[in-house]
C-alpha cells in the first residue's frame, strides 16, 4: 500500500493572462518545490481550481505534473466531480497520466440528498473502478458539506480507500476517525493551521496550501514533531498560523497566487469568476509575507 507520510503542497494551476493553461509554469513550480524534502505534489485540488477546468485541461495538467515530479515523490491528483460517472472517468484519466493516488472531494450540489449512505456508496463505487488508491477529501468550506466521522468510517472500509484529507479542522472528529478506522488508514491534515495537533492525534502528514510558499516552515513543524522536539514544533506551528490563514480561509486562491508571485514562484491570474486581490488587500498580504520572511 502507498504510504502517504509527509507533506504535500496543493499546487495552484498556472494560467496565462488570457486564462489559458500555462503548462511550462506548472512544470517550473513543481521543479522548484521538489527541491524541498516534500513527499510529493497534489495537483488539481481546491487550490488548483479543479472546478474551473475542462476534462481535456485536467488531463494536460495531470500529464504535465507527472513529467515534472521526480521519481520517489508521489503525485496525488484531484479527480472529484459531481457525478459518480465523471469522478470515475477522471480517476482513470489521472491514473493513466501517472498519478499514484486520487483525491476525491465529496459531491455536494444535491447536498440535501447526500446522506451517509449516499456518500459511502459514492466512494465505494469510485474505489471499485479507480485503478489507483482513493483518498477521501472532506472540505466543508468549499463543498458546504461536512462529513461526520461515521460517514467517513463507512466509506473508509473499502480496500482501495487508503486515507482522508480533512480540511475541516475538527480535531475531535479527526481523532474519532483515526481511532476507529481500519488498520493503516492514513489521515492527512488539510491545513497548516492545525498540522501539529493533527500529527499529535496520529495523522501521518498534511496537504497544506502553506507548503507552496513556506515549505521549510511546514517541514520544520513536521520534522520537529517526528524528532520529539515539541517545543520547537509548537513554536513553528504558531509561526505558521497567521500567514496560513491569509492564504486559505481569509483571502483564498488569489492570495496564494499573489504570494507565490512575490516569493519567486509563478502564481499568475486566477480564473473568473474568482477575482484578483484588490490593492489594499494585496498590500496587507505583502506586508504579512515580508514580516513572515524577513531578509
Per-residue cell: 70 = 521526480
Place of cell 502553506: 210
Per-residue cell: 276 = 484578483
| Sign of the Cα pseudo-torsion (194, 195, 200, 202, in order) | positive
Does residue 165 have an active-site annotation? yes
Q: What is the DSSP letter of 74?
A: E
Cα–Cα–Cα angle for 80, 86, 89, rounded to 5 degrees: 95
Query: Strands 40-43, 74-78: parallel, antiparallel or unpaired by DSSP?
Result: parallel
CA distance 20 to 101: 26
**List 25, 58, 165, 173, catalytic entry:** 165
What does residue 64 show for φ and ψ, rounded to 5 degrees?
-65, -45
Asked if 188 and 266 touch (Cβ cutoff 8 Å), the reply is no
Residues tagged active-site: 165
Amino acid at each position: 500500500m502507498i504510504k502517504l507520510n509527509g507533506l504535500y503542497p496543493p499546487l495552484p494551476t498556472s494560467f496565462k493572462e488570457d486564462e489559458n493553461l500555462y503548462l511550462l509554469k506548472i512544470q517550473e513550480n513543481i521543479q522548484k518545490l521538489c527541491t524541498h524534502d516534500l513527499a510529493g505534489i497534489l495537483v488539481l485540488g481546491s487550490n488548483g481550481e479543479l472546478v474551473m477546468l475542462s476534462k481535456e485541461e485536467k488531463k494536460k495538467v495531470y500529464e504535465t505534473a507527472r513529467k515534472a515530479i521526480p521519481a520517489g515523490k508521489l503525485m496525488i491528483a484531484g479527480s472529484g466531480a459531481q457525478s459518480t460517472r465523471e469522478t470515475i472517468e477522471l480517476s482513470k484519466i489521472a491514473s493513466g497520466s501517472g498519478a499514484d493516488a486520487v483525491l476525491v472531494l465529496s459531491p455536494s450540489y444535491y447536498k440535501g440528498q447526500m446522506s451517509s449512505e449516499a456518500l459511502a456508496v459514492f466512494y465505494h463505487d469510485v474505489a471499485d473502478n479507480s485503478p489507483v488508491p482513493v483518498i477521501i477529501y472532506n472540505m466543508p468550506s468549499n463543498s458546504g458539506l461536512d462529513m461526520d466521522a461515521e460517514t467517513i468510517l463507512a466509506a473508509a472500509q473499502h480496500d482501495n480507500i487508503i486515507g482522508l484529507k480533512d480540511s475541516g479542522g475538527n480535531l475531535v472528529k479527526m481523532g474519532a476517525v483515526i481511532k476507529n478506522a481500519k488498520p493503516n488508514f492514513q489521515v492527512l491534515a488539510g491545513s497548516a493551521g492545525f498540522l501539529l495537533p493533527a500529527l499529535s492525534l496520529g495523522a501521518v502528514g498534511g496537504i497544506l496550501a502553506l507548503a507552496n510558499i513556506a515549505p521549510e516552515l511546514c517541514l520544520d513543524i513536521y520534522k520537529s514533531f517526528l524528532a520529539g522536539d515539541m517545543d520547537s514544533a509548537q513554536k513553528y506551528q504558531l509561526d505558521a498560523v497567521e500567514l496560513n490563514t491569509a492564504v486559505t480561509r481569509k483571502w483564498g486562491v488569489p492570495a496564494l497566487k499573489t504570494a507565490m508571485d512575490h516569493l519567486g514562484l509563478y502564481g499568475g491570474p486566477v480564473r473568473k469568476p474568482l477575482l484578483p486581490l484588490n490593492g489594499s488587500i494585496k498590500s496587507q498580504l505583502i506586508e504579512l509575507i515580508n514580516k513572515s520572511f524577513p531578509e
